[in-house]
Each structure stands twice: as structure tokens, then as C-alpha cells.
Amino acid sequence: MGTIVLFVVVLVALTPVLGTHMYRVFTAERIGRVEAVVYRLIWVRPTVEQSWRTYASATLWFSAVGMVFIYVIMRAQAHLPLNPQGLPGVGPYVAFNTASSFTTNTNWQAYGGETTMAYLTQMLALTFKNFVSAAVGIAVLLPLVRGFTRSETGQVGNFYKDMVRALVYVLLPLSGIVALVLLSQGVVQTFGHSAQVVGVQGFKQLLAVGPAASQIAIKQLGTNGGGFFNVNSAHPFENPTPLTNFVETLSILLIPAALTFTFGKMVGSVRQGWALFVAMFLLFLAGLAVTVPGERHATQALRAAGVQASAPNLEGKEVRVGPDPSSLWAVATTDASNGSVNSMHDSYSAAGGGVQLFNIAVGEVIFGGVGSGLYGMLFYAVVAVFIGGLMVGRTPEYLGKKIRAREVKLAILGLIAPFLLVLGLTAVAVVIPAGLGPRLNGGPHGFSEILYAFDSQANNNGSAFAGLTASGPFYAVAGGLAMLVGRFVPLLAALALGGSLARQRKVPVTSGTLRTDTGLFVGLLIGVVVIVGALTFLPALALGPIVEALTNGRLF
């Protein structure tokens, strides 16, 4: 419990520090020397403002070109350098799924990292995409924020300027710091060959190594997830000590939390940013309150196998990490669109697994991904303001902008698109052999594995229940398409919403205006998130973790 308390204190303390830094970065008028060099290299004029449509076009073209680039690298890796193991090219289905995954900041992995991807692929394709997909998420948030601050204009910023600044002044410096910490604790970073050793039982074992530390840093800070090794951050070469575990867990939520403070500074009211932070934070604590107790004692299955009831649920967890830090990571990674794991979510109690499913299902807005989590929560805020306006009988307003039918429709589109994908693809998967065959388990737990897979992919999380073989054609193609739609439909909705708000004139605050920086609004916002999530996914959860809990006769 001490680790969790320390985590909370450090996260809250660093939120205004990093948030203020990002505010200065994204509102600076002067072009820095380093970023100026980048603009010249990519032939961009950063002072030219764009409409939301032009901004969206630049985002889509940049993402599409990057996706093709990493697909080609994966397919051709057998003929490229830095492949000491002589790994073959990645198959077309897995390459498509992986290209979709890393382009969309999902980092779902239908492959084993150390047995599938060469060093060059890990660095030039995957780590590169970790940086730029995270930068795209931050960049897309900014036009929406500017929509609240600007008046009667069609211009919302410059995509390339926003993305380059996110890379140069936020992601690269932070990743360098975290990578150095990881290196100091023994996380591997080498171009050397895998090491062959003799184990304690006398048999030979091949220990895979590689340039891992640099990728681990940005996978956490950019809420990318995934892992250099197949078992992700449960692997001792990725996460060897309590300090690395703490730093990596903190990195998952650091930027998404700080962006709420940046938002408050940019709209001219820090209280507005803290209101969103508190809503996210309380939902985060609620997830911990359910998950942590459930993993402190043996599950029903372990008790049936002779494990004492007072023993912690260590199935699927590293003993060197323990149940509380594992639970903290599981809640943090599913609150953010991160998806990295230091334990196997398939082995959690029914309640713990249900929390993880719900965290992802609401759209990963409990801090969420870098940029994407906050614009997702702003979708909910728009809906909450609309509901509040109906309750008090006046036109709803948020931060001086009227919330009309167009704004509500865009917010609903951004929220509902991933929901429809999850439920629709799950419904297809549970009735066809290609969907049922790859399950490890039958019954409600097998259903949870399928639901979790599409929940994770459509909401750009990337974690898995680890009981589903997802490298076959059906899951690779369906999952790849789900990741693309789940990323870019809300992204376009956020940009369109920002453009719509920027064209409006600011309206003055009156005595009848619903305040959105109070505890009352925080409660309303949390209620909207929970109710929308419950109404959408409770029937599906009832077929998975809920019925599993009832079958076992207990919730934990």
C-alpha cells in the first residue's frame, strides 16, 4: 500500500510542473533553434495556420505514410541489417495488424517481440512510431483546446508545428531521462547477440537481449504499451527492480495527467483543468479500490487447488513485483491507452478483470492516452454540459462557447464509434469458428478474452487477457481495422469539434451559466462517464466477468 500512496503523491505533485512546461511549449511565439532545423528538413512553414480540415488532412497523410513505412520494414527485415538472429520477414497479416497498432498508439502485439522483430525493426519502425503516434495524439488535442480560446476564426493551428514541439520539447527529453534511469537499474540496451547460458537445472537457455531501454521509456511515456520482449514488463530485462517498476508505472499516467493542467492554463482557468483531473483521479482510485483487495487473497480456483485463502493471488504475477504494484500497474495501464503489463490480466479475479474491461470500455478517458484521453474526456464534458443545460432549462455553454446540436453530435460520434466496434466485432467473433477457435478457455472467461481483445484494440489500449491467440487472419485483420477506426474517427471528431468551437463568438458568463469548475460538475461528469459505460457494456460484462464471478460463488 505504501507504493500506491507514494505513486499518488508523486503523480499529483508532478502534474502542475509538467503541465506548466507543456503550456509554455505549445503557446510560445518564438520558434526554437532545434525545431527550426526540423521544419527546414521536412519543408514546413510553422507560422502558417490551418483550418481543421487541413489539419486533419495533414494528420491522416502523415499517419498513412508512416504506416506503410513500418509495414515495409517488417516485411523486408530479413534483408536488412541489425538482424543478428537472422529473423525472417514478418507475415502479411501480423505485419498489417502491427502497422495498424503502432500507427494508432495502440501497440497491440500479435507476436513475440524477441522472436519476431529484428533490432532494426524494433528501433526504426516500432520505437519511431512510439514517438510520432504519441506526438500526433498531443497535436490533435491542441486544436480542440484552441477552439475554446479562439473566437470567430477558421484557424486552429499547424499540425507539423504542434507535433514537432511535442517531440522535441516533451517526449524526447522525458524519454532520455527515463531511459537513463532504466539503464542504471539493469534494463538491457545492446546490439549484441542473444546470450546462451546453462540454467540451474543443467539445460541450455537462450537469453534474448537488444536495444530495449530506449523503447521501454517511450512506450510508457507515450502511452504506447507493447514490449520489447514477449512477456512485456513482466520480463526482468525490461523491468528488473522496484525502482524501474515505479518509474515505468508513473510514466504511464504522467503526461495524460499533466495535460489536464496544460488545458486549464490554455483556457485561462487552472480550476477547469483541475476539475477534469479530479474526475479522472476519482475514477482511477475507484478502480484501485476494487482491484487491490481482490488480489490480496487467493481466488476461488486457487483455493480449490489447495492454496490458503489468506495467500495473495500470485498466479500470473511476478513474485519480485508483488500483488499491490501489479494491481496498480493493471489499473493504470487500462486507464491510459498504454496496454503494457507487468502481470497477466487473464489471471486476475473476476472483479479485477471486470475493472480492466470497464476502464478500457469507457473510451480510456480516466487519464487515457497522451492527448487522446483528454479529448475523449472533453467529449464527455460536452455531453455533461448538454445534460446540465437541459436540467436548468437554458442553452448549454462550456468555457464561453455554446454547445449546440453540432457539437453534441460530434462528441457523441467520438464516443460511440469505438463502442460499436467492440460490441459488433465481439458478436461476430463468438459465432464463427475463426473467432472461437483461438480461445484458451471456454465459457464466460473465454468470452471475456474475446471481448477484452476487441475492447483493447478498438479503444487503442493494446493489453490483452493473454488467453487468445490473435495472430491468425481473422483477429489480425479485424483487429487492425478496429484499431484504425477506433483511433481516427474520434480524432477527426475532435478536430471538427475544435473547428466548430473556434468559429463561434465567446459568450459572457451570466448568473445562469452552469459552472464547470466545481465539485457539482465533477460529480455530473463522473456520472455521465459511468452511466454511458454501464449502459453500453453492462450486458456484455454480464456474459463475461459478472457471470464468472457468480459461477464461482464470490466476486473476488
Element (H, E) at 134: helix 128-149
CA distance 242 to 320: 8
CA distance 235 to 243: 15
Strand partners, 155: 51
> CA angle at residue 132 from 126 to 136, to 5 degrees?
135
| Tens-digit pLDDT string for the chain (556 aa) | 788 999 999 999 999 999 999 999 999 999 999 999 999 999 999 999 999 999 999 999 999 999 999 999 999 999 999 998 889 999 999 999 999 999 999 988 888 878 889 999 999 999 999 999 999 999 999 999 999 999 999 999 999 999 999 999 999 999 999 999 999 999 999 888 887 777 777 778 878 888 999 999 999 999 988 788 888 888 999 999 999 999 999 999 999 999 999 999 999 999 999 999 999 999 999 999 999 988 887 666 666 666 666 677 788 888 888 889 999 999 999 999 888 989 888 788 878 888 888 898 888 899 999 999 999 999 999 999 999 888 877 778 999 999 999 999 999 999 999 999 999 999 999 999 999 988 878 888 889 889 989 998 999 988 887 778 888 899 999 999 999 999 999 999 999 999 999 999 988 877 777 889 999 999 999 999 999 888 888 888 888 888 877 776 444 4
348: left (phi over 0), alpha (psi -120 to 50) or beta: beta
CA distance 330 to 293: 13
Position 555 scores a pLDDT of: 46
Closest by CA to 451, choosing from 539, 511, 386, is: 539
339: left (phi over 0), alpha (psi -120 to 50) or beta: left
What are the boundaries of each domain within the chain? 369-552
pTM of the complete model: 0.93
CA distance 297 to 352: 12
**What is the rounded (10 degree) CA torsion for 25, 29, 35, 40?**
150
